[in-house]
Amino acid sequence: MTEAQQRLAEVRAAISAVLKNGQRLRRSDREIQLAELNSLRLLEKQYADQVAAEQAANQGRGRSRISYVGI
């Protein structure tokens, strides 16, 4: 698993935790605010794009779709 894939999994776990528990956790007299869902969604998109680019590069399909034919 690459670093981008690991971070993507962590961000998705954090999103799941926010959706399950809410953005604020309150225990007795303490309150913890988790990361904002919008920020996590932006990170998820960024890491998903990185993973897709890595996978495309590993399959021999880089970003450029131009192929040069010799004359």
Q: Dihedral of CA 9/13/14/19: which sign?
A: positive
Give the DSSP H/E element, type plus range, for residue 35.
Answer: none
Residue 54 counted as domain residue? yes
CA distances 53 to 1, 21, 50, 56, 66, Å, are 14, 32, 5, 5, 16
Residue 8 counted as domain residue? yes
**Whether the predicted pLDDT of 18 surpasses 60:** yes
Domain encompassing residue 16: 3-58
Residue 53 counted as domain residue? yes
Residue 63 counted as domain residue? no
Number of domains in the chain: 1
pLDDT for residue 61: 62
Looking at per-residue confidence, does 12 or 58 come out higher?
A: 12
Least confidently predicted of 13-22, 25-34, 48-57, 59-68: 59-68
Residue 41 counted as domain residue? yes
Instruction: Read off the pLDDT of each residue in 17-24 and give the average, rounded to a whole number.
Output: 87
Verdict on whether the full-model pTM lies above 0.85: no
In the numeric block, which tokens belong to residue 14? Answer: 């954090």
Rounded mean pLDDT of the chain?
Answer: 85
